[in-house]
Amino acid sequence: MIMANSSGGVRSLNAHRFFWLAPLLGLSLWSTAMGQQLTPPINPLQVALLKWGPNLTTTFTAGATPKGVAFDGANMWVANVASNNVTKVRANDGLVLGTYSVGKQPYGVAYDGTNVWVANHGSGTVTKLRGSDGTNLGTFNVAGGMTGIAFDGTNIWVASHLTGSVVKLRTSDGTTIGSYKVGTHPIGVAIDGANVWVTNEVTDNVTKLRASDGTVLGTFKVGASPQGLAFDGANIWIANEDDATVTELRASDGVMLGTFAVGVEPYGVVFDGVSIWVTNETDNTVTKLRASDGALEATLPTGPGPYGIAFDGANVWVTNSDAGTVSKL
């Protein structure tokens, strides 16, 4: 049974309803009256339930075409491309705390410990919002086609696919410290603690730069059309959109450790401390892989068009770009 909750979300499949829902989901049950097994046809949701359990997702309203998402320690910040704003959602219950205007077509979101930074794809700018109340602290002209964005502990890095570069901004005032050439059409940005990793969509590779000065330390081949990426403490995981895989690279030297099948058109990647989660935009699912060896742990349903993904310390959040919602798993 799907029920609305008090914060405007949708709560799905509570545990105490699981027994009588099972036949509807295609699960095998025993009839106590007749002493015989009932085995309705299997459907895809059965697989998710068997792997994950009865509590699947809670879904909350965001803006139009949500893409990027970031966690600030208490709240989720969701970039809404088609509505040119960012929604702040309380992580514990999904309550919308505010919606704040930014630049055109905001894609990426990052949190620096105090403020939220938003990469505005359509206006070639980055907006800085105060995390406590969403006050606009500045909009900074950077370059064209801003997409991925990340915080390295000191500075903000943002990818510009139109210029084939990644730009480094000073967090105190948004001043551009440097602009560094990477590959063609850079998309995603991730930090490994000392270095910046950037996916290059057209050249099917990833560039590693030293965060302190932007020196290129290597360029490494991955799958077709790499998009989002994440660091697991030792390795970098990259979603390859056009071949439905995720590539694992050793962060120290870029050696390829493995390539693992996921869903169709994977985009977002996040690490939860044990597992790697990947959004599959066309499949309307997320794939969960064991970080130690890439083994498939689960494939779970989301809303339509899952894109961005973030971890809040307990739950995984996914933006459903085709539905204007964000799901909490």
Q: Per-residue confidence of the chain (329 residues) as pLDDT tens digits? A: 333 343 344 333 333 332 222 322 233 222 222 233 333 343 443 344 334 444 456 999 999 999 999 999 999 999 999 999 999 999 999 999 999 999 999 999 999 999 999 999 999 999 999 999 999 999 999 988 999 999 999 999 999 989 999 999 999 999 999 999 999 999 999 999 999 999 999 999 999 999 999 999 999 999 999 999 999 999 999 999 999 999 999 999 999 999 999 999 999 999 999 999 999 999 999 999 999 999 999 999 999 999 999 999 999 999 999 999 999 99
Contact status, residue 301 vs residue 275, Cβ threshold 8 Å: no
What whole-number distance in Å separates Cα of residue 3 and Cα of residue 14? Answer: 10
Q: What is the largest CA-CA distance in the chain?
A: 75
Q: What's the CA gap between 82 and 105, in Å, rounded?
A: 6
Per-residue tokens: 36: 């015989």
Torsions phi, psi for 95 (to 5 deg): -65, 130
Contacts 24+ apart (CB under 8 A), 230-236: 230/190, 230/269, 230/270, 230/271, 230/276, 231/190, 231/191, 231/192, 231/193, 231/197, 231/271, 232/271, 232/276, 232/291, 233/271, 235/291, 236/190, 236/192, 236/197, 236/206
Query: Cα 102 to chain center, whole Å?
Result: 20
Contact 321, 305 (CB under 8 A): yes
For the range 77-80, what are the long-range contacts, defined as Cβ-Cβ under 8 Å and sequence gap of 24 or more? 77/109, 77/111, 77/116, 78/109, 78/308, 78/319, 78/326, 79/106, 79/107, 79/108, 79/109, 79/118, 79/119, 79/308, 80/106, 80/324
Distance CA 218, CA 276 (A): 24
Return the residue matching tokens 């892989």: 289
Taking the model in full, what pTM does it have? 0.84
**Amino acid making up residue 217:** L
As beta bridge partners, residue 25 has none
Cβ atoms of 171 and 115 closer than 8 Å = yes
pLDDT of residue 56: 58
